[in-house]
Amino acid sequence: MKEAIYPNNKLRVIIRDDAPLMFANDSPVYRSVEIKLTDEQVGLLKLNWIGMTNNNDYYESITNSSLCEGFNSAISQIEEGLK
């Protein structure tokens, strides 16, 4: 069996601001944030080898991601602190 593939040590998150779309019928604005992962986090994201066909190796792929539960409550706490 082949070795797993480990991702880069950075996770990129693209954040979309819909305010221009909602208030001015303009295009949304995007910003990118890169977060450096620990070695443990990189290990958790390893992509396992799943097989080979026609001399091509195939690995698991990341098909979806989302922010974990608790993110919205953290934002609410920050917003409350700003009032």
DSSP one-letter code for 53? E
| Confidence (pLDDT) at 16 | 92
DSSP count for the chain of H helices, then E strands:
3, 4
Summarised one tens digit per residue, pLDDT across range 11-50 is 888 999 999 999 999 999 999 999 999 999 999 999 999 9
Domain borders along the chain are 10-82
Residues in CB range of 1: below 8 A, 6 or more apart: 49
Q: Greater confidence, 72 or 40? A: 40
Give, for 17, the enclosing helix (H) or strand (E): strand 10-17
